[in-house]
Amino acid sequence: MAGRITRLLHRQTPERPDVTEAVAQLTRLAETRPDLRHPALLQSALIRALYAAPAVVSACSLTAEDATMKLTGGVPLLRNISLPCAAPHLCATFLRLCMAASTVTGIDRQPYKTLAAAVNK
């Protein structure tokens, strides 16, 4: 029951215009290049899954002065910077990607199902 409600609510959420455009381009590619049909379908499913839920974004501790010094000194901007990471969000995103990939026809779906099962343990 909960799965049905989730799918129903998901359908009512409008897709971002850039996602719609990317999927449309991939659809055109799949139609014009049959050899790229399955990769294009997979990429479309992954893009939709990736943008299905908002990303959890936290502020970085890098100040403008530190960024200027790093960039002027030729040091990569994020070197030695701890980036905040929300493990539950990353897990949920990975599971969405695995589930989306496992729905694409014409590809071997088992690896994605195996990965999702391993993450769920």
Indicate whether 71 belongs to any domain: no
Indicate whether 38 belongs to any domain: yes
Please tell me the predicted confidence (pLDDT) of residue 62.
Answer: 84
Indicate whether 68 belongs to any domain: no
Average the pLDDT over 24-28 and give the result: 96
- The number of domains in the chain is 1
> In 3D, which of 95, 101, 99 has the Cα closest to residue 42?
101
Neighbours of 26 (CB within 10 A): 20
**34: domain range?**
2-56+83-120
Please tell me the predicted confidence (pLDDT) of residue 15.
Answer: 86
The C-alpha atoms of residue 54 and residue 56 are separated, in whole angstroms, by 6
Indicate whether 61 belongs to any domain: no
Indicate whether 45 belongs to any domain: yes
Please tell me the predicted confidence (pLDDT) of residue 47.
Answer: 94
- Residues 89-121 have pLDDT tens digits of 888 899 999 999 988 888 888 898 898 889 887
Indicate whether 17 belongs to any domain: yes
- Residues 47-89 have pLDDT tens digits of 999 998 877 777 777 889 999 999 999 999 888 888 777 788 8
Alpha helices in the chain (DSSP H): 2-12, 17-32, 37-50, 64-72, 87-101, 110-120
Indicate whether 76 belongs to any domain: no
Please tell me the predicted confidence (pLDDT) of residue 6.
Answer: 55
Q: With contact defined as beta carbons under 8 Å apart, do 23 and 44 qualify?
A: yes
